[in-house]
Amino acid sequence: MSAGDLLAILQGAVVTVTLSLIGILIGLPIGLALAVLRWADVPVIAPVVKVYVSILRATPLVTLLLLLFFALPNIGIAIGPVSAAILALVMNTAAFNCEVWRAALMNFPKDQYEAAQSVGMNASLRFRRIVLPQIVRVSLPGLVNEMSLLIKVTPVLAVVGVVDITRAAVRIGAETYDPLPPFLIAVALYAPIVFVLVSLQRWIERRQVMAEAAA
Amino acid sequence: MIRDFGIVWSERDLLLSGLANTTILSVLSAAAALLLGFVLTPTLMSKQRWLGFLARGFVDGMRCVPFLLFAYIVYYGLPSLGVRLDNWTSGLVALTIYNAAYMAEILRGAWAAQPREPIEAGVAFGFSNVGLFRRIVLPPLLLAAGPVMGNQMIQIVKDSAFLTIIALPELTHAASSIQSRHYVPFAAFITAVFLYWGLCLVIEAGVGSIDRLAAARR
Amino acid sequence: MTDSRKVLDVAGVSKRFGPLEVLSDISFEVAKGETVCVLGPSGSGKSTLLRCINWLERPDAGQIYLNGVEIGVTGGGLVMTDRELSRIRTRIGMVFQHFALWPHLTVLQNLMEAPVQVQKRPRAEVRDEALALLAKVGLSDKRDVFPAKLSGGQKQRVGIARALAIRPDLLLFDEPTSALDPELVGEVLVVMRELAREGMTMVVVTHEMGFARDAATRILFLDRGRVVEMSSPDQFFSNPESERARQFIQRYAGNVANARLAVTSK
């Protein structure tokens, strides 16, 4: 394995991180929107969201990705591997994040909400100033957990040809007939990223526990 | 579109065999992972520091590695070390070892949350060893860990789909095969999606009944 | 009411936790039918002593004999295995401060579990006896209920019935009412008084001075891991020998309600 190979894998790492970030940045607010739609029990839409989330959470990412990559062009929507990858990641992330947000919303103390109503705040203010800041705090560990899970499913993008860490490693392995070293390098790249996220999650949880204990 | 589904229907044997493979693979590896977890968890909490350290390293390591990469390593990488497994065995081994780490962590968490006194009562009343474990320790542990293990089971089903990359004839592979031969991607994959969904609903129903058992005792 | 047969013989038992010597050279005997109440300030080692009797804690020194058979050490001088210990433990019943009922089993199943699984007695016979015991503690209607649904006092009465179900030679009570709300204490003490009256051999660690005064045949007063005084309840409460006992009684005796408020959990 040469330095050029190593560089190729590192470039794959950039792709992995970039696509993950895009998936997270778009998926997070969409997940929130889905959770709010279910929480507010909007007629017609809420049950649709429920079914959508249920199906998405049960669907393997690789199946979803293959579906998008092959089926969309078939019904007239042209889509390349990167776009299909981003779309799959976003759909997946949104569904999982929805459940995290929803748990926070469901457990939101009713009396705080009623207090906001009693001082005359409208729905938008109530949500923006009272509900949102607190559910962000409560959801944070779960969301960071989902981020670490997201990183761990990004290798699926290799299946449609996106050159992330895994595809780079596989290619080098196939070329050099020595798959183990590039794979191990790949592990060495994924592991720290996931480890940082998991440590971040534990740190957030610890801080929240301490804040609650002090209260 | 109807015609496409008609084609998928004509290939239902392949899809069902893929579903069967997915189910069997998931159930086998879940059971094996759980058993391994029972071995691993006490090791995690072992008084011997080096043993606990090794176990912790394994568990944390597995949780930092993407499963797809791990499956690649087991199937393509092990031959370099002289271990050549076929794709079924590779898939089973990869799924089992990977999820054993998660099961161990789940069991550890459930164990830590268990009150000690009822177990001590078991000892005081003359229960020991296997009897103590089977009748006093295990039932409340499984009831408490049930929902989380159910989620892990769903995760295993989804991870099994990754094994399509090593040409294991599970459900996604079957759908891909139908797609590539008949050019019916939407019908093929949507059917697969709904089959996965069905499988997960069955698992969730199972978890639901465990949860009901637990709730009655709470 | 008591006969001369020794059920329990504790000889020179000591126990330390790290640098702290929790029990020092404890010796006493319990004859059949006696009710021995172990009293003492927090930290005096009362619970540890109780837990040493059935080797839930392992004594560092001394011997403990149940009906003449040594607990914890075999005839050959080796430390007993878990299995050997369990054979002895099945002769000793224990009632725990926090009830320790098995949450996955109903009340009736809790009572039947040890007799059937450990003592291998026939199910039908165990069931009949268990139902009778439930009636005795006044909880017949709760037999198919899970412990989580019971009040503290009910849980403890089940705990007592469960200990009785194994037909023990000796009953150990580890602060049985300390975790109960005041108004629930009475229902448990009633059961315990009745057991004492019927001639059950009991060792009770408690803060309930009223119970100790009325139901005990002997008081064992522990302070800082040593037996400071051992006498009849009358003598202990009205004319204690030691200064420590005197201080203890002054703080706790008399108003039982005050005593309960003054006691913090161990």
Q: For A41-55, how does the pLDDT look when each residue is reduced to its tens digit (9 = 90+)?
A: 889 999 999 999 999
With a cut of 90, say whether residue A115 has pLDDT above it. Answer: no
Residue C259 confidence (pLDDT): 46
Tell me the chain B residues in contact with residue A152 when contact means C-beta distances shorter than 8 Å. Answer: 65-67
Nearest to B136 among C87, C102, C166 (CB): C102
Q: Are C240 and C229 in contact (CB under 8 A)?
A: yes
Q: Are A80 and A173 in contact (CB under 8 A)?
A: no
HEC assignment per residue over A172-206: HHHHHCCCHHHHHHHHHHHHHHHHHHHHHHHHHHH
Domain assignment of residue C172, yes or no: yes
DSSP string, C38-103: EE--TTSSHHHHHHHHTTSS--SEEEEEETTEESSB-TTSPBPPHHHHHHHHTTEEEE-TT----T
Domain assignment of residue C50, yes or no: no
Using the Cβ of B164 and the Cβ atoms of chain A, whether some distance falls under 8 Å is answered with yes
With a cut of 50, say whether residue C3 has pLDDT above it. Answer: no
Domain assignment of residue C146, yes or no: yes
Within 13 Å and on the Cβ side, how many CA atoms surround B65?
27
**Could you give the strand order of the β-sheet that contains C226-231, starting from the edge strand earlier in sequence?**
C92-95, C170-174, C202-205, C35-39, C218-223, C226-231
Tell me the chain B residues in contact with residue C104 when contact means C-beta distances shorter than 8 Å. Answer: 139-140, 143, 217
Q: What are phi and psi of C223, to 5 degrees?
A: -140, 125
Report the distance separating Cα A27 and Cα A19, nearest Å.
12
Using the Cβ of C102 and the Cβ atoms of chain B, whether some distance falls under 8 Å is answered with yes
CATH number for the domain harbouring residue A81: 1.10.3720.10
Report the distance separating Cα C204 and Cα C176, nearest Å.
8
* H or E segment and range at residue C222: strand C218-223
Q: What is the pLDDT of residues C119-178, one digit of tens each?
A: 999 999 999 999 999 999 999 999 999 999 999 999 999 999 999 999 999 999 999 999
CA–CA min distance B48, chain A (Å): 25
pLDDT band at A123 (very low <50, low <70, confident <90, very high): confident
Using the Cβ of B8 and the Cβ atoms of chain A, whether some distance falls under 8 Å is answered with no
Nearest CA in chain B to A166: B69
Using the Cβ of B165 and the Cβ atoms of chain A, whether some distance falls under 8 Å is answered with yes
CATH number for the domain harbouring residue C111: 3.40.50.300
- Chosen for mutation from B189, B199, B200 (greatest number of chain A CBs closer than 10 Å) is B189
Q: Count the domains in chain C.
A: 1
Q: Are A146 and A97 in contact (CB under 8 A)?
A: yes
With a cut of 60, say whether residue A170 has pLDDT above it. Answer: yes
Report the distance separating Cα B106 and Cα B142, nearest Å.
10
Residue C253 confidence (pLDDT): 60
Q: Count the domains in chain A.
A: 1
Spell out, as residue ranges, where chain B has pLDDT lower than 70. none
- CB–CB of B68 and A153 under 8 A? yes
The domains found in chain B, sorted by start residue, are 2-216 (1.10.3720.10)
Residue A205 confidence (pLDDT): 85
Going by the DSSP 8-state scheme, the letter that residue C34 receives in this structure is -
Residue A213 confidence (pLDDT): 78
Question: Which amino acid type is present at position C65?
Answer: Y
pTM score, whole prediction: 0.81
Give the number of other Cβ atoms within 10 Å of residue A76's Cβ.
Answer: 6
- B160 burial (CB, 10 Å; 0-12 / 13-18 / 19+) is buried
Tell me the chain B residues in contact with residue A54 when contact means C-beta distances shorter than 8 Å. Answer: 197, 201
Q: What is the pLDDT of residues C185-226, one digit of tens each?
A: 999 999 999 999 999 999 999 989 999 999 999 999 999 999
Residue C232 confidence (pLDDT): 93
* Residue carrying structure tokens 């020092």: C24
Tell me the chain B residues in contact with residue C54 when contact means C-beta distances shorter than 8 Å. Answer: 124
CA distance to A23, A145, B151, per residue, from A65 (Å): 13, 22, 22
pLDDT band at C251 (very low <50, low <70, confident <90, very high): confident
Residue B168 confidence (pLDDT): 92
pLDDT band at A215 (very low <50, low <70, confident <90, very high): low
With a cut of 60, say whether residue A36 has pLDDT above it. Answer: yes
Domain assignment of residue C164, yes or no: yes
Domain assignment of residue C193, yes or no: yes
Q: Are C228 and C196 in contact (CB under 8 A)?
A: no
pLDDT band at C254 (very low <50, low <70, confident <90, very high): low
- CB–CB of A187 and B73 under 8 A? yes
Candidate ranges A152-166, A192-206, B27-41; pick with highest mean pLDDT: B27-41
Nearest to A178 among B80, B185, B200 (CB): B80
HEC assignment per residue over B32-96: HHHHHHHHHHHHHCCCCHHHHHHHHHHHHHHHHCCHHHHHHHHHHHHHHHCCCCCHHHHHHHHHH
Question: For residue B43, what are the contacts with CB-CB under 8 A and spacing of at least 6?
Answer: B51, B52, B54, B55
Using the Cβ of B53 and the Cβ atoms of chain A, whether some distance falls under 8 Å is answered with no
CA–CA min distance C155, chain B (Å): 12
Interface of A with B (CB under 8 A): 54-55, 57-64, 66-67, 70-71, 74-75, 151-156, 158-159, 166, 169-170, 173, 178-180, 183-184, 186-187, 190-192, 194-195, 198
Among C83, C156, C162, CA closest to C115: C162
Within 13 Å and on the Cβ side, how many CA atoms surround A87?
17
- CB–CB of B68 and A194 under 8 A? no
Nearest CA in chain A to B200: A58
- The average pLDDT across C21-34 equals 94
Domain assignment of residue C211, yes or no: yes
| Rounded percentage of chain A residues whose pLDDT exceeds 90 | 42
- B201 burial (CB, 10 Å; 0-12 / 13-18 / 19+) is middle
| Rounded percentage of chain C residues whose pLDDT exceeds 70 | 93
Strand partners, C173: C95, C204
- CB–CB of A198 and B63 under 8 A? yes
Q: Are B179 and A70 in contact (CB under 8 A)?
A: yes
As a whole number, the mean pLDDT across chain C is: 90
Going by the DSSP 8-state scheme, the letter that residue A111 receives in this structure is H
- CB–CB of B193 and A55 under 8 A? yes
Nearest CA in chain C to B139: C104
- The average pLDDT across A178-202 equals 89
Range of the domain at C41: 33-45+89-262
Strand partners, B12: none
Residue C1 confidence (pLDDT): 41
Using the Cβ of C48 and the Cβ atoms of chain B, whether some distance falls under 8 Å is answered with no
Q: What is the pLDDT of residues A65-101, one digit of tens each?
A: 999 999 888 888 888 899 999 999 999 999 999 999 9
Using the Cβ of C119 and the Cβ atoms of chain B, whether some distance falls under 8 Å is answered with yes
ipTM rounded to 2 decimals:
0.86
3+ Cβ–Cβ pairs closer than 8 Å linking C and A = no
Residue C146 confidence (pLDDT): 95
Quote the tokens at residue B189. 């994959």
Using the Cβ of B215 and the Cβ atoms of chain C, whether some distance falls under 8 Å is answered with no
Residue A4 confidence (pLDDT): 85
Range of the domain at A112: 3-214
Going by the DSSP 8-state scheme, the letter that residue A108 receives in this structure is S
Q: Among residues 185-204 of chain C, which lie with CB inside 8 Å of chain B?
A: none
